[in-house]
A = this chain, B = another copy of it.
Amino acid sequence: MTDLSTEVAALPDKSLLVMDDDAPLRTRLGRALEQRGFEPTLVGSVSEAITAVKSSPPAFAVLDMRLDDGNGLRVVEAVRDARPDARIIMLTGYGNIATAVQAVKAGAVDYLSKPADADDVVRALLARGDAPPPPPDNPMSADRVRWEHIQRVYELCNHNVSETARRLNMHRRTLQRILAKRAPR
């Protein structure tokens, strides 16, 4: 388990589809996975992904959940239909349980929240026997949880401060101040 690259090298099929609408991140992730031995195809939208899947179904897939032109779940289904043995993992900006449940039900083998480093992705991709890793003891600080929630809604509101504040039922001024600061640990 220490050397992921050799494990990847032993795979019969290293084809991997990476879908993310953030181009720099996508490229970086693609490069990192390539270095670890995969043969990635990069796409930035659901439609591109579907096309790619049709022309050559990948053995692995790393998909962003939320894109501009549709839901990442559609791609999960497409990949599963084209290739039932594919190992798919979902990626998303801020972890959300409901989303994770949907993703797994749709057929993803795992769900990671960004920022997830390439090693995490590879580990999830390779994890044959699902090892219930550690005691699921996750001590996120209360402020951190609050902050992430805010970020999520903020993103969802397309970085519109006023609307985010309205939805969050908090003062625009307060939101502004919070957004101006860095994430709490």
A residues engaging B (CB < 8 A)? 71, 73, 94-102, 104-105, 109-111, 113, 130-134, 136-143, 145-146, 149-150, 152-153, 156, 167-170, 185
Contact = CB atoms under 8 A, between A and B. Distances in A.
A142 B136 contact: no
B111 A97 contact: yes
Given A137-B156, A145-B149, A97 B95 contact: yes
A149 B153 contact: no
A142 B144 CA distance: 11
Nearest to A138: B96
A-B CB proximity, top 3 nearest: A146-B146, A98-B136, A104-B104
Contacts of A104: 100-101, 104-105
B139 A168 contact: yes
B133 A105 contact: no
19 contacts: A73-B131, A94-B136, A96-B138, A97-B97, A97-B100, A98-B133, A98-B136, A98-B138, A100-B101, A104-B105, A105-B131, A137-B153, A137-B156, A139-B167, A141-B170, A142-B149, A142-B153, A142-B170, A143-B170
Given A102-B136, A141-B169, 5 more contacts: A97-B113, A98-B138, A142-B150, A142-B153, A146-B146
